[in-house]
Structures are given as C-alpha cells and as structure tokens.
Structure 1
C-alpha cells in the first residue's frame, strides 16, 4: 500500500450546497470536478493539498458519528476558530499525550478529526 487516495463520507440527497458552505467556505477546501457518469449521482468532491474527501449521496443516509477521517493541519487553533465562528463547535480531545486534536461534525453529522503534528 502506498497512500490513501480519498475518504468518502455519505450525505443525504440534496445535501451538496450545505456541504459546499462547510467544506469550501469554512474548511478552505476546493471543489474538484467529478467524472460525468458519477456527477449524475449527485454528491461533491473536495480537496486541499493531498487530502480528498468525496461526499456521496446515500438514499438511507445515516451520519458517521464514530468512524471518521483524521486530517493533519498546520494551524489547529486557527481552524478551530474558523469552525467555531461558523457555528460548528469543536470538541477538543487530549486523551493522546503529545497530540493536539479536536473533532467536529459536518452539517450532516459526519464526524471529522483535525490534528496538528507535535512541535519539535
């Protein structure tokens, strides 16, 4: 194995616009085009650097409240402020010594972890 290409999270039908506001406007990711055959199914693909999240429409949608992607960021405090200011409360977790991280739910309730690499 070499790397993870992307992580897929489910969203309900019609949930793309609220996801655009969260993933693009709040998190600062960019939308990437889906192949035409997949675009017809709905959903949204976003990317920041090497991180890709594919948001796919699921008919019997249930949010991932435990399973989650964990994303490394350069400025955890700035991101926590942005998500908080946008109405998404970060939940800080200090259970792993030496690792600063928080969890946040996207607008559809999917859990996402953000962490900062240790300094030094």
Structure 2
C-alpha cells in the first residue's frame, strides 16, 4: 500500500543545472538537496520545500513536459506569482480548480508547473 509521495521527477537537458538552481532555488525558494555521488555524476539537481521534492534529471533526448506537471501547494500564491513574473517566467492564472487558486508557470527549460493555494475554509 502506498504511504505518500517521495518526489516528482522532471526532465532537463544537460548543462541546464544553473538555470534550474536559479528558478527552483531562487524564484520558488526551494532548497537544493545533495544528490548521492553515483547519481550526481549523471547531472541534474534535486530540490525540496516542505513535503515537496522535485528531481530534475538529465534526459539525452530532452523535450519539456507541456501538459504533464507537478502540482505544488503554497500558502502565498500571489508572492510566488510576482517572483515568477519578476524573474521573467510569465504565469497563466486558471480559476477552474474548486477549492483552490491556481496558476501555471514553466521552469527555465519549459516544463509546466502548477502552483496552488487552497481557499480559506468557510
């Protein structure tokens, strides 16, 4: 039986690690997680915030995920939206998810992310 979600992996091209660090670490405020040495040799980078972990893995024939995406929860969607826009990552608001405010944004290599903030109870 499943007990939780450990991480979500998104693909990235070789050599994109610095741009990913600037986005996931700088813009989204996630903390980079040290990869085990045997995996670090493959490139990519891992990030964590709260219970969310995203692994960016190098894929030789990279194509960004334009539809598939991780959905990440936040308590301050407006702040994250402003940080994304300020860093040159346009956001697309989508009001069609009951109980949440949400938007979509692409990481520096084109992968789609969904950021959600639950509506206050009541």
TM-score (norm 1): 0.97
Aligned equivalents of 2:26, 2:16: Cα separation in 1: 15
Q: Give 1:4-83 correspondences, 5 Å limit.
A: 4-83=5-84
Question: 1:18 aligns to what SS in structure 2?
Answer: helix
> How far, CA to CA, are the matches of 1:84 and 1:8 in structure 2?
24
Deviations 1:19-77, CA, capped at 9 Å, x for gaps: 00001011100111000100000010011111100000000000000000001100001
> The residue matched to 1:101 in structure 2 has which SS?
strand
Q: CA separation in 2, counterparts of 1:69 and 1:43?
A: 17
Counterpart of 1:110 in structure 2 is 111
In 1, Cα distance between equivalents of 2:46 and 2:99: 32
Partner SS for 1:21? helix
* Cα distance per residue 1:83-110 (max 9 Å; x no partner): 0111101100012244210000000000
1: distance between equivalents of 2:117 and 2:100? 7
Query: C-alpha separation between the residues in 2 aligned to 1:116 and 1:36?
Result: 35
For structure 1, the 5+ residue unaligned runs are none
- 1:86 maps to 87
